[in-house]
Structure 1
Amino acid sequence: METEYRITVRVLAVLGAAAGLVFLFLQIDYPWNWRVPWEYRALFIQGFYHTVAISIGATSLGLMLGIVGGLAKVSRNIIAREVVTLYVELFRGTPLLVQIYIFYFCVATVVHFDNPLIIGMITLAFFSGAYITEMVRAGIESIDKGQLEAANSTGLNHWQTMRYIVFPQALRRIIPPVTGQFVSVVKDSSLLSVISVRELTKASEIINATTYKTFEAYLPLAVLYLCITYPLSYLTRRLEEKLRHD
């Protein structure tokens, strides 16, 4: 009963928001032309594909960086801890837009690699990896210290304890925030339009510059981003509820 009530409330909220937007747009003296999104659908489809591909690639690589970084931050090696701490502070403390410019115009130029899509994906991976590093660290440190002492008393070394005792439990706790980070990566991918990556935002910019139909170019953009991010947000909530009751 509670689930049905919650769904009803959400549906009514969505309908109310849609009605409010329609009313708002009707008050604007604007010559609508909804043939524009259809005529440029190929650009939207290409942008959607690139956005999804970049997001999956960046999150996968960022997850690997985050796991390695998180383990390094709780290791006994002071050099590894300090290097990872510097990495996290640099990427979390500077704007993503600046990082994109540095990777594309500096790093890529030095290594003679000119593929904006791959460069953008790597930049997002390092950016998200810094946040995932802290998630992994927090997940590991949330495990009861008594379990580490018990593992050591059985003869397991530090890495065996991490592998068999601590990390499997920490993994369950970091899944929801990492899924939420995926949502952030999807939205952050819009910044890659500044280096001419033809993701969704770049597609809308091209359509707007060609047709001068701003609303017809950017409203479908918002809907397409929502089609990607809402299922992920829903999955995050379900994971949190499941883990809370396990």
Structure 2
Amino acid sequence: MPMRRLFIRNSENKETLLPKAFNIIIAVALFILFFLFSIKRLGMEFDFSFLWSFRYRLAQGFAATVELSLASLVVSLLLGFLSALANNSRILAVSYFSKVYVQFFRGTPMIMQVYLFFYIIGTAWGVDNRFLAGVLILSIFEGAYISEIIRGGIDSIEYTQLEAARAVGLKSGQTMRLIVLPQIIKRTLPSLAGQFASIIKDSSLLSLISVIELTQTIREISASNFAIFESYIFLGLLYLTLTFPISMYTRYLESRYSYEN
């Protein structure tokens, strides 16, 4: 039954390389065919050739998105880690400040936060650099999600390990550095890697305040050429080149660092 093995998982729910590659090609082909059939039904014809003349602007926008995402990742990791620690603080005011921060930013859309923090808070505090403002807004937003990821990693560590650390004379700082942090990194790394893909996609909303990144560049190009569909389809492909490798790496990390309590 060689053909059947190309389409059906075995009893151990495992896939070999050939069936996986074969079915991925089929899935992608079906997706593309459906898209092309929809275009044909509308009688539309796309011409992407005009994008070549904007290749330098697109490269600059692409690089700006990468820089913005990397800077936001570093700052949001710091904010998320501090917020997760503050959430478990014995000082109630600190703990509830962290809880309010997480609930507010996870419970409100980023589009509202972009306008609120740039035009009101940013103006009040003199933050007029749009790139810096974008990094801060994106970092604060993503930091709330990262805080919950790290808090879940902390809560997953059995209390008996902390008791054992105290029993052998480890101080709180040593316990955090030698016992807690290594396990948190292992258990949260796949989720944190996946969050980086979210940071890249969410950075597109910073075009609302005219941060010159990839989405804003495409908006300017489409406005001058009136080729909206071609521009935004190409934009989606550019974002996919960034997020797809991260998604694959996240899958690898999930299988690499899978564990059982």
TM-score (norm 2): 0.89
Gaps of 5+ in 1: none
1:38 alignment partner in structure 2? 52
Structure 1 residue ranges, 4+ long, deviating more than 3 angstroms after superposition: none
Query: Residues 36 and 216 of structure 1 are in contact (CA less than 8 Å); yes or no, is this contact kept in structure 2?
Result: no
Deviation at 1:187, TM superposition (A): 0.8
1:16-35 alignment runs, 5 A limit: 16-35=30-49
1:15-94 alignment runs, 5 A limit: 15-94=29-108
Q: Distance in 2 between matches of 1:102 and 1:231?
A: 33
> Aligned to 2:204, which of 190, 196, 210?
190
1:139 alignment partner in structure 2? 153
Query: Which letter maps to 1:100?
Result: V
**Percent sequence identity over matched residues?**
38
1:98 aligns with 2:115: no
1:116 aligns with 2:162: no
1:216 aligns with 2:238: no
Q: Distance in 2 between matches of 1:79 and 1:174?
A: 27
2:251 alignment partner in structure 1? 237
Query: Residues 59 and 182 of structure 1 are in contact (CA less than 8 Å); yes or no, is this contact kept in structure 2?
Result: yes
1:225 aligns with 2:239: yes
Deviation at 1:66, TM superposition (A): 0.9
> Aligned-pair RMSD on alpha carbons?
1.7
Query: Which letter maps to 2:234?
Result: P
1:153 alignment partner in structure 2? 167
TM-score (norm 1): 0.94
Q: Distance in 1 between matches of 2:20 and 2:57?
A: 37
Q: Distance in 1 between matches of 2:51 and 2:117?
A: 33
Q: Distance in 2 between matches of 1:198 and 1:34?
A: 22
Q: Which moved more, 1:114-123 or 1:198-207?
A: 198-207
